[in-house]
Amino acid sequence: MPRLRQYPEVRRSYQTEGMATSLSWPILTRYGPCVVDTLNPAERSRRMALIRSKGTKPELFVRRLVHRMGYRYRLHAPELPGKPDLVFRRRKRAIFVHGCFWHRHPDPACKIARLPKSRPEFWVEKLSGNRERDAIQLAALENMGWRVLTIWECQLKEISELKENIRAFLEAE
Ligand SMILES: [Zn+2]
């Protein structure tokens, strides 16, 4: 998008907010391409916090479930690669809870991870970075001797299966 260079405001909005689902696609105006953002800055930053930050709904769900199963954990140990969502320090195990769309759940049966029909190439480029980062962080944790379980958003529906997986992961020798 070379022409955007003339419009630093627009370019910044692309780089920092390009992943927001509510952000409109660029349209051509008589002054050049332009991104239309229907939210004011405060609303925008709240929306972005919802999309990217820790403490998402799937994560809260897993936290409550694991707590009810009787396990105690720490949240987002900042010193660990990728800041895992749940950290079981004594067992040296960590759990990530991933949204299927943003983290590209590789299961072909996963419906949430499917890309929008319009402009799939845009999303592939946007999201492949997330997946790469996840893989690097996972490898780094495992190299430090941690065992890691990734729970996908779409797996939250089968609660008994999920509980079994979590228990097996935490109790394995
Ligand atoms: Zn999924």
111-140 burial, b if ≥16 CB within 10 A, otherwise e?
A: eebeeeeeeeeebeeebeebeeebeebbee
How far, in Å, from the CA of 8 to the mean position of ligand 1?
36
The whole-angstrom distance between residue 80's C-alpha and the CA centroid of its chain comes to 17
Average pLDDT of the chain?
78
- Taking the centre of ligand 1 as the mean of its atom positions, its distance from the CA of residue 132, in whole angstroms, is 17
pLDDT at 102 over 50: yes
Cβ pair 26, 35 in contact under 8 A: yes
Per-chain residues with Cβ under 5 A from ion ligand 1: 100, 105, 110, 112, 152, 154
- Compute how many other C-beta atoms are within 10 angstroms of the C-beta atom of residue 34: 17
Tens digits of residue pLDDT in 41-62: 666 555 555 454 456 789 999 9
Distance in Å, CA 113 to ligand 1 centroid: 6
pLDDT over threshold 70, residue 34: no
Confidence of residue 173 (pLDDT cuts 50, 70, 90): confident
Single pTM value for the model: 0.68
Q: How far is the CA of 63 from the centre of ligand 1 (A)?
A: 18
Question: What domains can be seen in the chain, in order of their start residue?
Answer: 2-51 (no CATH), 54-171 (3.40.960.10)
- What's the rounded mean pLDDT across residues 21-27? 38
